Amino acid sequence: MASPKRTFAAGVATATLSGKAVYVAEGDYSWAIDDYVFVSVYGGYEPIGWTRDIPSQMTRLVIPGGDAGLIASTLQNIPIVLEGLTIVGEAVLDGSPPDTLTSYLVLFADLAVISQDRILAGGSSRWARALDAWGPTLVVNSEIGIEGFVPETSDDLASTVMADRLLVLVNSTVRGGSTTTPNVTSYGIYAGDLMSVITVINSLVTGGSVPGPRGRTAAIYAAGVKVFPPFVTVANSIIDSGQSARAGGFHLMVPWFMLLLNSDVWGAALTCYYDMILDFGIPMCLRQPGQLNRPPVVWTQAFDNISADPLLAGDGIHLLDGSSCIDAGFDLMTYPDLWLPWSQIYGIDLAQLISQDIDGDPRPQDWGWDIGPDEWVPR
C-alpha cells in the first residue's frame, strides 16, 4: 500500500504477477469488458491511512454495457474473494444486437467468495443478469439485483443470479428484475445446469415484478434433467414470488429435490406455496402451507414454514416489530449438514457466518432464530 496504483487495472496486473491481493480505496473505477481478475479484491479503504469502513467508503467498479462483464477466475486452485465492492453493470443501450446481455459479474473458480458486496446489473435489451457463477460460490452479507429491466419481446428473461454448479447464500438478498413490459419472465435465482445445488440460508430472494396475463416471476427456478436433477435447500429464508399473473415461490422442472425448512414463502399468489411447471406444461400449485404435492419423480421435505407478509423496513432487509418471521426460524447449529461440509472441504467456518445476521448481531436474540437476513433486535 506504500505505492498505490492509479487505476484498478494496473493494480490487478501488478497483483497477478506477484500473487497478491488487490486493496482498493474508495471511489469509482472502470473495468473493461472481458478482462479477467485472477486475484482477490478488497474494497472500502480510505486512501491516506488505509483504514477500512465498507459502508461509508464505497468502492465502485463500473462495467460498461455489453455482452459480458467483470470476469473473476482463479489460478492454481486458489480461492478468490471479492469483498467490500459495489459492482455496477451499466445498462445495454437500445439498438444492441438481439442476443445482447447486460453487463454482469462472471465467476470461474474452484471457490469464489462474495462478501459484503453489492452487485447491480443495469437494464438489458434482451437478457439481464447480475451474477453468473460457474463454480462453487459462497455469497455472504451481500445484495444482488437488477435495476431497470427493459425487455423487448416476450422471450426476454431476467435472472439475477445464474447458478451453474454450487451456490450458497447466507444473510444475503437476491432481487429479480422489475419491468413495465408485459408477459416476460423474471427470476431471482436460475439453476439451469446439470446437478446444480442451491442452498439459501437466512436470506431473501424475490422474483421481481412483471405485468400482463402471461407474465411470470419466481424467486427460484430450477431446471435440470432426469439424470442430474437440481437440489434446492432453503432454510430460515424469505421467498417472495414477486408480482405477476403466474407468480410462484418456486418454478421447478421435474425431476428435482427440495428441502424447505422454517421459511416464509409468500408474494402475489398468497394461496400458492410454490408453482411447479411440469415437463408437459401443467402447473401444480400447493394450497396448504406446510405440505407439498409429491409426484413420483420428486423428492421434497417441508417443515414449519409460513406464508405471511414478513413486514420489512423501508430498506427491504430488516424486520419490523410484529413480523411473523421473528423467532420463527430453525436453530441451524443443530443441523450441521448445512455448514459442516464447507469447513471440511474448503476450510471456511460457515457455522460462524450463520451464527450472525447481516449486521453482525448474534443469533438468536430472543426465543429463537428469525427468518431472513436480519435478526430482529428490540430497540
Dihedral angle computed from the Cα positions of residues 349, 355, 361 and 363, in that order, rounded to the nearest 10 degrees: -170
Q: For residue 277, give the H/E element and its range.
A: strand 275-277
Tell me the whole-structure pTM to 2 decimals. 0.88
Residue 213 in domain = yes
Residue 365 in domain = no
Bond before 362 cis per omega within 30 degrees: no
Cα gap 160→238, rounded to integer Å:
16
In this structure, are residues 205 and 187 in contact, taking their beta carbons and an 8 Å threshold?
Answer: no
Q: Write out the chain's pLDDT in tens, 379 residues.
A: 667 888 888 888 888 888 889 999 999 998 765 667 888 999 999 998 999 999 999 999 887 765 556 667 665 567 889 999 998 877 655 545 544 555 567 777 778 899 999 998 876 656 778 888 888 899 999 999 987 776 766 667 778 888 877 899 999 999 988 888 888 888 899 886 666 888 999 999 998 888 988 888 888 887 655 445 678 889 999 999 888 887 877 776 655 677 888 999 887 543 333 444 433 333 333 333 333 444 434 556 778 888 889 999 999 999 999 999 999 999 999 988 888 888 888 888 889 999 999 999 999 998 899 999 999 997 6
DSSP string, 241-275: --BSTEEEEEEEPSSEEEEEES-EEESS-TT-S-E
Residue 335 in domain = yes
Cβ atoms < 10 Å from Cβ of 367: 8
Residue 199 in domain = yes
Cα 88 off chain centre by: 15
Q: How many residues does the chain have?
A: 379
**CATH code, 32:** 2.160.20
Domain of 74, in residue numbers: 8-354
Classified as helix, coil or strand, 15 is: helix
Angle at 255 between CA 350 and CA 307, to 5 degrees: 60
Return the pLDDT at 43: 96
Cα gap 353→158, rounded to integer Å:
29
The one-letter amino acid code at 206 reads T
Residue 370 in domain = no
Residue 377 in domain = no
Return the pLDDT at 280: 33
Give the count of domains, the chain.
Answer: 1
Cα gap 179→209, rounded to integer Å:
6
**For residue 334, what are the contacts with CB-CB under 8 A and spacing of at least 6?**
none
Residue 31 in domain = yes
Return the pLDDT at 68: 53
Cα gap 103→321, rounded to integer Å:
38
In this structure, are residues 98 and 126 in contact, taking their beta carbons and an 8 Å threshold?
Answer: yes
Classified as helix, coil or strand, 8 is: helix
The one-letter amino acid code at 374 reads D
Residue 101 in domain = yes
DSSP string, 289-337: TT-----TTEEEEEES-B-S---B-TTSSSBPTT-TTTT-S--GGG-GG
Return the pLDDT at 103: 56
